[in-house]
Amino acid sequence: MLSYVEHYEPSYFLLENVAGFLDHKFRKLGIISKGQVAETAIQYGMVKLVLRTLIALGLVVSSHSIVSCPEI
């Protein structure tokens, strides 16, 4: 999806939150000492990746939340 934004360079871009997007965490491995490895989770990892990529592409990023009513 981000490659399309980079290729086509649209005037605006709308990204819809899909199930799990906000909760997706990236795992980060770090060396503590003497070969011991610790794994930590990067909260909102996917959101951070997308925002940083869009900013790196030179886009102005703005976010808005729209709360919809549940389906009946």
Is 15 within the bounds of a domain?
Answer: yes
Distance CA 18, CA 23 (A): 10
Number of compact structural domains in the chain: 1
Task: Describe the chain by its helix, strand, coil percentages, rounded to 5.
Answer: 25, 15, 55
Give the SS3 label for residue 63.
Answer: coil
Is 69 within the bounds of a domain?
Answer: no
pLDDT tens-digit readout, 45-58: 888 899 999 999 98
Is 67 within the bounds of a domain?
Answer: no
What is the mean pLDDT of the segment spanning 4-26?
Answer: 85
**pTM greater than 0.85:** no
Q: Tokens 């939340």 identify what position? A: 65
Domain of residue 11 covers: 2-56
Q: Tokens 């491995």 identify what position? A: 29
Is 12 within the bounds of a domain?
Answer: yes
Is 35 within the bounds of a domain?
Answer: yes
